[in-house]
Structure 1
Amino acid sequence: MTFSRLYFNRGILFQNFRQHGWLGILFLIVLLFSLPLPIGTEYREVPYEITSLFQTNGQMHLLLALAFPVAIGLFLFRYMQSGASSDVYHSLPLKRKHLLTAHLFTGFMLILIPIWLTTAITGWVWGVLDEPAYIFTGDAIWMWGLSMSIYSMFMFMLTVAVGMCIGQSILQGLTVYALILLPMVFWGGYELHLQQHLLGFPYNQVGSVRTDISLITRMESIGSGTTLWPELLIYAALTVVFIALAYVIYARRKVESATEAVTFRVVKPIFRFGFMFTIVLIGGAYFTRIAPRESPDWGIIGYVVGAIVGYIGAEMLIRKTWLIWNGKLLPQMALYGIVVGLVLYVPVADWNGYAARVPAKEDVVQVKLGGDEFEYHNGVSVKRDDSKLYSNNPEFIDAILALHHKIVDSDLDLLGNLNYMQWDDSEFIFVNYELANGKIMKRRYQIPQSEFIQELSVLREIKDYKAIQYRTYKLDEDVLSIGIRSYLSGARKTYISNPQHIREFLDLLKQDILDQTYEEQTSPWESWASAEINQESDLDPNFPRTMWTYEIKSSYDRVLTWLKQQELYDQLNVSADDIVSAQFVKQEFDGGSNGKTLYADSQYIDANIDGHKQVATQNKEIISDLLTRQRTSFYTKEAVTVYQIKLNTVSGENIYMMLKEEDLTEAMQAILVDL
Structure 2
Amino acid sequence: MPSKKSFFRSGIIKQDLRQHGWISIVYFICLLFTVPLELLQLASRDYVIYEDYKNYMMINPDVQVLFLFSIPIAAGLLLFRYLQNEAAVDMVHSLPIRRETLYVSHIISGLLLLIIPILLTSCVTFFVTNSIEEFQSILTLSELFSWTGLIILLTCMMFFFTVAVGMMTGMSSAQGILTYIFLFLPIAMVTMVSYNLSFLLFGYSTFFLDEKIEYLSPFFRFIGIMGETKPFSILEITIYTILTICCFFIGLGLYKVRQLEKATDVIAFPFLRPVFKYGVTFCCMIVGGSYFSAAGALNWNWIIFGYVCGAVIGYAVAEMILQKTWRIFQFRVFTGLIVYSAIFIIILFSIKNDFINYENKLPRMEQISEVYFGNKYSMQELSRNDADVYSHSKLYIQDVRNLHEYITQQKDFIESQNGEEMYKEDILISYRLNNGKLMTREYSLPMQLMKGQLKPVMEAEPYKRNLPEFFQLHDKALSINIVANGPVQKNVMITDPNEMKELSEVIEKELLSQSLEDLITPTSSWGYFEFARKQPDQQHQYESYNLEWKKSYDEVTSWLDEHGYLEDARITMKDIVKAEVTKGPKKINKDMYDVDEFFKQGEQFFTITDTKVLEEALQNFTDYPDGHTYHIKFILKDGSEWYGSLPDEHVPNEISDLFR
| TM-score above 0.5, yes or no | yes
- Bigger shift: 162-171 or 54-63? 54-63
The one of 289, 303, 308 aligned to 2:307:
303
Is the contact between residue 111 and residue 152 of structure 1 (CA under 8 Å) also seen in structure 2?
yes
1:636-651, aligned counterparts within 5 Å?
Answer: 640=627, 642=629, 645-651=632-638
| Aligned-residue offset at 1:671 | 6.8
Alignment-derived partner of residue 329 in structure 1? 333
Contact 1:586 1:612 in 2 (8 A): no
**Cα distance between partner residues in 2 of 1:190 and 1:574:** 51
- Structure 1 residue 186 displacement after superposition: 1.2
Partner of 2:366: 362
Give yes or no for contact 1:185–1:278 (8 Å, CA) kept in 2.
no
Distance 1:3 1:604, change over 3 A: farther
Letter in 2 for 1:509: I
How far apart are residue 454 of structure 1 and its match? Answer: 2.2
- Equivalent residue for 1:575? 572
Q: 1:204 to 1:296 in 2, by over 3 A?
A: farther
Structure 1 residues 260 and 587, CA gap change in structure 2 (3 angstroms) = farther
SS in 1 for 2:645: strand
C-alpha contact (below 8 Å) 2:617/2:651 kept by paired residues: no
Which residue number corresponds to residue 504 of structure 2? 506
2:609 corresponds, among 616, 619, 622, to 619
SS at match of 1:412: helix
Partner of 2:10: 10
- RMSD over aligned CA atoms reads 3.3
Name the aligned partner's letter for residue 479 of structure 2.
S
Q: Output the CA distance in 2 between the equivalents of 1:132 and 1:392.
A: 46
Task: Trace 1:103-118 onto structure 2 (pairs within 5 A).
Answer: 103-118=106-121
Matching residue's letter, 2:339 = L
Distance 1:413 1:3 in 2: 75
1:561 match: 558
**What amino acid is aligned across from residue 22 of structure 1 in structure 2?**
W
User: Residue 655 of structure 1 is aligned with which of 632, 636, 642?
Assistant: 642
Query: Is the Cα contact below 8 Å between 2:174 and 2:266 reproduced in 1?
Result: yes
Q: Any residues of structure 2 matched to 1:343-382 within 5 Å, and which?
A: 346-370=350-374, 371=376, 373=378
Q: Does 1:437 align with 2:444?
A: no
Q: Is the 8 A contact 2:485 2:571 kept in 1?
A: no
Does residue 151 of the first structure (1) align with residue 154 of the second (2)?
Answer: yes
For residue 327 of structure 1, report the CA deviation from its aligned partner: 3.9
Query: Equivalences for 1:521-536 in 2 at 5 Å?
Result: 521-523=519-521, 525-535=523-533
Matched, 1:88 2:91: yes
| Distance verdict in 2 for CA 1:583–1:85, change over 3 Å | farther
Residue pair 1:6, 1:94 contacting (<8 A) in 2 also: no
| Separation of aligned partners in 1, 2:109 and 2:383 | 39
* Partner Cα separation in structure 2 for residue 478 and residue 127 of structure 1: 35
Query: Retained in 2: the 8 A contact 1:55–1:224?
Result: no
C-alpha deviation, 1:536, in angstroms: 5.0
- Contact map agreement 2:414 2:446 (CA 8 A) in 1: no
Stretch moving more, 464-473 or 29-38: 464-473
Normalised to the residue count of structure 2, the TM-score between the two structures is 0.89
2:154 & 2:343 partners in 1: Cα distance? 35
Q: Which amino acid aligns with 2:621?
A: Q
Task: Identify the residue that residue 247 of structure 1 maps to in structure 2.
Answer: 252
- Correspondence 1:281 to 2:272: no
The answer to whether the 8 A contact 1:582-1:648 is kept is: yes
Is structure 2 residue 288 aligned with structure 1 residue 291?
Answer: no
Q: CA deviation at 1:154?
A: 1.3
The count of corresponding residues between Structure 1 and Structure 2 is: 652
Q: CA deviation at 1:345?
A: 5.3
Are the equivalent residues in 2 in contact too, given 1:47–1:135 (CA < 8 A)?
Answer: no
Counterpart-to-counterpart distance in 2, 1:411 and 1:467: 29
Shift of 1:156: 1.0
Match of 2:594 among 604, 616, 627: 604
How much has 1:541 moved relative to structure 2? 3.0
* AA aligned opposite 1:628: Q
Would you say the 8 A contact 1:56–1:223 is kept in 2?
Answer: no
Distance 2:550 2:441 in 1: 31
Q: What does the per-residue CA deviation read over 1:577-623, in whole Å, with 9 as the maximum and x for residues that have no partner?
A: 312444557654658xxxx7x37x6x7257x5996458584624453
Rounded Cα–Cα distance in structure 2 between residues aligned with 1:21 and 1:411: 64
Deviation at 1:428, TM superposition (A): 3.5
Cross-structure match for 1:173: 176
Contact 1:526 1:630 in 2 (8 A): yes
Q: Distance in 1 between matches of 2:599 and 2:243?
A: 63
> Is contact 2:523-2:624 (8 Å) kept?
no
Amino acid at match of 2:464: K
Aligned mates of 1:557, 1:10 — CA distance in 2: 83
| Residue 122 (structure 2) aligns with | 119
Aligned AA (1:36): P
Q: 1:400 maps to what in 2?
A: 400
Amino acid aligned to 2:433: L
CA 110–587 in structure 1, closer or farther in 2 if over 3 Å, else same:
farther
Shift of 1:657: 2.6
From the superposition, tell whether residues 141 and 14 of structure 1 become closer, same or farther in structure 2 (CA, over 3 Å): same
Aligned to 1:467: 465
**Match of 2:440, SS?**
strand
Q: Scaled by the length of structure 1, what TM-score is found?
A: 0.87
Letter in 2 for 1:242: C
Inter-CA distance 542–440: structure 2 relative to 1 (3 Å threshold): farther
Partner of 2:484: 486
State the 1:214 CA deviation: 2.2
Mapped pair 1:628 → 2:619: yes
Alpha-carbon distance between aligned partners in 2 of 1:589 and 1:90, rounded to the nearest angstrom: 80
Query: Would you tell me which structure has more strand in proportion to its own residues?
Result: 1
Query: Structure 1 pair 213/613, CA: closer, same or farther in 2 (3 Å)?
Result: farther
**Aligned amino acid, residue 91 of structure 2:** V
**How far apart in 2 are the matches of 1:53 and 1:490?**
47
Q: What secondary structure sits across from 1:165 in the alignment? A: coil
How many angstroms does 1:329 deviate by?
Answer: 1.9
Aligned pair partner of 2:236 in 231, 237, 248: 231
**Contact 2:77/2:172 (CA < 8 Å) preserved in 1?**
yes
Aligned-residue identity in percent: 27
- Contact kept, 8 Å, 1:40 with 1:132, in 2: the verdict is no
Deviations 1:87-107 (A, max 9, x none): 111111011100000111111
Indicate conservation of the 8 Å contact 1:585/1:645, yes or no: yes
| Cα deviation 1:59-115 (Å, max 9, x = unaligned) | 111111111111111111111111111111111101110000011111111111122
Paired amino acid for 1:329: V
C-alpha distance in 2 between matches for 1:353 and 1:422: 31
* 1:670 positional shift: 6.8
CA distance 1:661–1:612, shift in 2 (3 Å): farther
Per the TM alignment, residue 150 of structure 1 is displaced from its structure 2 partner at its CA by 1.7
Paired AA for residue 401 in structure 1:
R
Deviations 1:106-144 (A, max 9, x none): 111111112221222222333445788996323333333
Deviation at 1:217, TM superposition (A): 3.3
* Residue from 138, 152, 156 that aligns with 2:141: 138
Identify unmatched segments of 5+ residues in structure 1. none
Gapped regions of structure 2 (runs ≥ 5): none
**Are the aligned partners of 1:365 and 1:434 in contact in 2 as well (CA < 8 Å)?**
yes
Q: Of the candidates 546, 551, 559, which is equivalent to residue 548 of structure 2? A: 551
Deviating more after overlay: 432-441 vs 468-477: 468-477
Name the CA distance, whole Å, in 2 between partners of 1:408 and 1:543: 51
Asked whether 1:193 is paired with 2:196, we answer yes
